[in-house]
Amino acid sequence: MSRMPSLLSWIVDGLAANPLEVVAASFGVVSVWLSTREHIASWPTAIVNVALYFVVFQRAKLYADMGLQVVYLALSVYGWYEWKFGGAGRTELHVTRTSVRQAAILLALGVSFALLLGVYLDRHTDAALPWIDSAAVATSLAAQWMMTRKLLENWLVWIAVDVVYVAMFITKGLFVTSVLYAIFLLLAAQGFFQWRRSWAAHASS
């Protein structure tokens, strides 16, 4: 019985400590939920989300994630355009599968970027978790680009990175954000199955 008050206190303390984080998290949930349904409004809500999280991560000294929000902003604008006009004849983009070539290129770029960023953060900043943060950032970038192109497997990559983020944010005291990424984890699983049905429907048409 003592666990419930402790859990409730943990959540309440997290909400009170950083109201900006609460607002950012709310936009994040809405954005990902819309993404699982291939709704174009996922991109403008994502833009608000990343703008707010830039400030949240700056305060937490998670500099790789802070910089990641700038890239997310650019990718959100790009994704907004691609989902609307990236299909054949500038039509709506449909879900496709990731090719072996695309996967190999993303893996090579991701590992290289993670190593370079990790070295920089470890040697030149007071970053809290330079190597874990860098690996999560590199993986997130790959997943986000995959989402802009409506590649089905983006959700599998998000599932993997969300597990890491939940643990990392708990250690940094970003309780609301840790809960947010747990929700993202569930939404990513849902998104995979929904997008797979969408891909199958268009592949058979």
> 109-121 pLDDT, tens per residue?
999 999 999 999 8
pLDDT digits (tens, 9 = 90+) for 162-194: 999 999 888 888 787 788 889 999 999 999 999
* pLDDT tens sequence across 85-100: 998 889 999 999 999 9
Is a pLDDT exceeding 80 seen at residue 65?
Answer: no
Burial class (CB in 10 A: 0-12, 13-18, 19+), 170: middle
Task: Give the pLDDT confidence score for residue 1 in this predicted structure.
Answer: 45
Structure tokens that stand for 57 in this block = 């991560």
pLDDT tens readout for residues 7-54: 455 555 555 456 888 889 899 999 999 999 999 999 999 999 999 999
Which residue's structure tokens are 């950012």? Answer: 24
Query: pLDDT category, 3, cuts 50, 70, 90?
Result: low
- What 189-194 contacts at long range (C-beta under 8 Å, 24+ apart), as own/partner pairs, is 189/155, 189/159, 190/36, 191/32, 191/35, 191/36, 191/155, 191/158, 192/152, 192/155, 192/156, 192/159, 194/36, 194/37
Based on the structure, what is the number of domains in the chain?
A: 1
pLDDT value, residue 114: 95
Domain that holds residue 107: 3-203
